[in-house]
Structure 1
Amino acid sequence: MPHIGERLAQKLNKIWIFAEILLFVLVGAQVDVTLAFKAGGVGIAIIGTGLIGRSIGVLFSLVGTNFNWKERLFCIISYSPKATVQAAMGAIPLSLGVKSGDVILAIAVLSILVTAPLGAIGIRYSAKKLL
């Protein structure tokens, strides 16, 4: 039976690759780049506030574990956004006709552009030092 699960997981991973490409292409097609630049400062502040809140949430979730402070810091870094959720959710307000849906989508894309590379770089270079 386990081999059936492995084969199914491999097939679903292939489908997800296609779906992910489609998701990012469709989101990219809806983005007004000028709005992303207009929302720049405010967008970065919103993203920063969200990251601080998320980091506090990670710390609370680690209460009672045996992780040391280096490992906890790595958990915070590794839990930074990777862009898939932002891409999937960012366009929903626009599609539902929310008045500022285009701004919400622009900030979601800005979040992708800022947090995904920083998260990937942070994980790559902090793993050896913190774990």
Structure 2
Amino acid sequence: MVNDNLRLYYQLYDLSRQQNEAIQEKDVDEVLSILQDKKEIIEELEGINVEEEIRAHQNPEETLSELQELMEKLNKLEEENVDLMEEHMTSLAQEIKSLADGRKTMEGYSQSQSSQKKSEGKVIDEKG
């Protein structure tokens, strides 16, 4: 499967590995860039007749087996990527909630301080 349209599946797998690393590093810009690259490859793959590609190889059975194995690895990696993204989304949502709660607490404290009457210092003159 070298130098033909099926190489795109290998590129897709490689990008998925890179995406996994970027997710773990919480590099949102890199994840978005990789997703764009993957989208372009998927669009290319949509125009390929995989059956014809496989039959064009010297050993179609071996090529089919290789492609199936790659697709299983790719599927497993994509599931892991989705799980990681969901995990990071959950932790990010918790962080945002925590920040919002802290802000509300600070606002409440600030409002209670400003609504209290500031005591004026009074001097009692006992001399008369």
TM category, shorter: 0.3 to 0.5
Given the two structures, how large is their TM-score scaled by the length of structure 2? 0.34
Given the two structures, how large is their TM-score scaled by the length of structure 1? 0.34
Structure that is richer in helix per residue: 1
Determine which structure has more spread, i.e. the larger CA radius of gyration: 2
